[in-house]
Amino acid sequence: MSTSEEGGYHHGDLRAALLSSAMGMLESGEPFSLRAIARKAGVSPTAPYRHFKDRDAVESALAAEGFRDLFADLGDSRDMPGSLPELAEFAVVYVDFALGRPALFRLMFGKPCDDTDDERVKAAGALHNLLARALDRVSPEADTSALATAGWGLAHGMACLYLDGKLRAPSRDEVADQVRRAFGAIAIAPVVPSTQSARGSRRTHC
């Protein structure tokens, strides 16, 4: 689209076009700046500043999109787990997301959360609430905050080990099997409820 056509965007379309360009550049490994994103989207160099004050704001918006995509992968067409083996499938999806979209995954978790970005906080919160509901269903009497930390730590740790080449597998199916075996090996058992309410101690991390 030429710069002269920029005014043809409806409200919100310009932001979406800029984020689409930025996501494509991120996932292809192409360095980006606001000017480069504008060029990729075919708009004027100043157009991105209507929606983003700087590159950090773009990255935060991309992270929010990543959290929504991961939420969709975990929640769409998937029954809530009723057992620990079924809960392990959440970890399988998590690791598979990391391997399929490594640049986005590193962006989502590689920088401190911008607590002032309501969109990002909301997207991360929805993801953590999904996990909390799953844990409540599998182990309603347990300290679900501790279980969430343990489960997330294992899944995230394995994802990073695969991304860094410290763990290897010939295929994504084999990766999935390794993740399932890891969860089975530690046999995440119900944790005795802590003196502090598990629900009260939950905190969103993005």
Same fold, 1-52 and 55-201: no
- Burial 28-48, CB ≥16 within 10 A → b, else e: eeeebebebbbebbebeeebb
Residue closest to 26 by CA, chosen among 68, 55, 69: 55
- What residue ranges do the domains of the chain occupy? 1-52, 55-201
Residue listed under structure tokens 């979406």: 16
pLDDT by 10s per residue, the chain, length 206: 444 445 555 545 899 999 999 999 999 999 889 999 999 999 999 999 999 999 999 999 999 999 999 999 998 657 788 888 888 999 999 999 999 999 999 999 987 776 777 888 899 999 888 888 888 888 888 787 888 888 889 999 999 999 999 999 999 999 999 999 998 887 555 445 555 444 444 444 56
Q: What is the pLDDT of residue 49?
A: 93
**What residues have CB less than 8 Å from 203, skipping those under 6 apart?**
none
CB 143 within 8 A of CB 193: yes
Choices 1.10.530, 1.20.120, 1.10.10, 1.10.405: CATH for 1-52? 1.10.10
pTM of the model: 0.83
Residue closest to 36 by CA, chosen among 28, 45, 27: 45
Whether domain 55-201 has CATH 2.20.25.570: no
Q: What is the pLDDT of residue 1?
A: 43
Q: What is the pLDDT of residue 198?
A: 42
Residue listed under structure tokens 């769409």: 76
In one-letter notation, the amino acid at residue 54 is D
Phi then psi dihedrals of residue 7, to 5 deg = -65, -10
Residue listed under structure tokens 């300290």: 143
∠ CA 137-143-145 to the nearest 5 degrees? 90
